[in-house]
A and B are shown apart, each in its own frame.
Chain A
Amino acid sequence: TQLLEQSPQFLSIQEGENLTVYCNSSSVFSSLQWYRQEPGEGPVLLVTVVTGGEVKKLKRLTFQFGDARKDSSLHITAAQPGDTGLYLCAVHDYSGGGADGLTFGKGTHLIIQP
């Protein structure tokens, strides 16, 4: 069972459209991170959300942490081809007693067509 379920798995839309991708879990987290990974590159941190209900904006990207700190969403307004990439959510999994390794979801593969 995946700790983090991301949906949709794949999304292809036209430039200028809006979209939302989701990261869900049955567990509660103290924080959650979103990364974007482009082909041939490593993941790059976009944002960390910490407080339940928190909303953070990064230009056209809006991130929200669920009130119960079990889920998160990423909304992109007026998508551009440069937004193309693999969007990953990640948390620190304390279940094994450690606090250092990140657990990632499988990601949403986003393609923005010009």
Chain B
Amino acid sequence: DAGVTQSPTHLIKTRGQQVTLRCSPKSGHDTVSWYQQALGQGPQFIFQYYEEEERQRGNFPDRFSGHQFPNYSSELNVNALLLGDSALYLCASSLDFSGPGANVLTFGAGSRLTVL
């Protein structure tokens, strides 16, 4: 049973460029969340996708956008990259339901983005 897979694992971009990161959720999961983790910090919530729509968003500018596809996979796009966007970008999947076991996230290993 494959867990959450993310690609690419590492990438280097320059300021002003655009980047797309990809995520395949754990089998059976229908909800995908994206987090940004700066070096030495805890992850920060960017947004969550469910039923191909953005359901909730954290405190991130519009340069950060996303998409969820019918097969539940997701992309994170960042435009006009800044040096401060250098971070580990984590994708987490979950199953949308209420009750015991709800809100349990499975994280991928992340995509390490370096902006020069």
A73-90 interface mask toward B, CB cutoff 8 Å, 1 = contact, 0 = none?
Answer: 000000000000000101
| Cα A92 to Cα B47 with chains together (Å) | 13
Hey, which chain B residues are within 8 Å of A104, CB to CB?
42-44
| Any A CB within 8 A of the CB of B4 | yes
Q: Which residues of A contact B (CB under 8 A)?
A: 6, 40-45, 48, 88, 90, 92, 96, 98-107, 109
| Cα A109 to Cα B103 with chains together (Å) | 25
Contact A101/B109 with A43-B43, A106-B41, A107-B42 known, Cβ cut-off 8 Å: no
Q: How many residues of B contact A (CB 8 A)?
A: 25
A101 to B: closest C-beta gap in Å: 3
Contact A100/B48 with A41-B109, A42-B107, A42-B108 known, Cβ cut-off 8 Å: yes
| Any A CB within 8 A of the CB of B80 | no
A48 CB contact (under 8 Å) in B4, B56, B104, B108: B104
Question: In the complex the two chains form, is B4's CB within 8 Å of A42's CB?
Answer: yes
Query: 8 Å CB contacts to A: which residues of B43-79?
Result: 43-45, 47-48, 55-56, 58
Question: In the complex the two chains form, is B45's CB within 8 Å of A103's CB?
Answer: yes
Question: In the complex the two chains form, is B42's CB within 8 Å of A88's CB?
Answer: yes
Hey, which chain B residues are within 8 Å of A106, CB to CB?
40-42
| Cα A102 to Cα B92 with chains together (Å) | 11
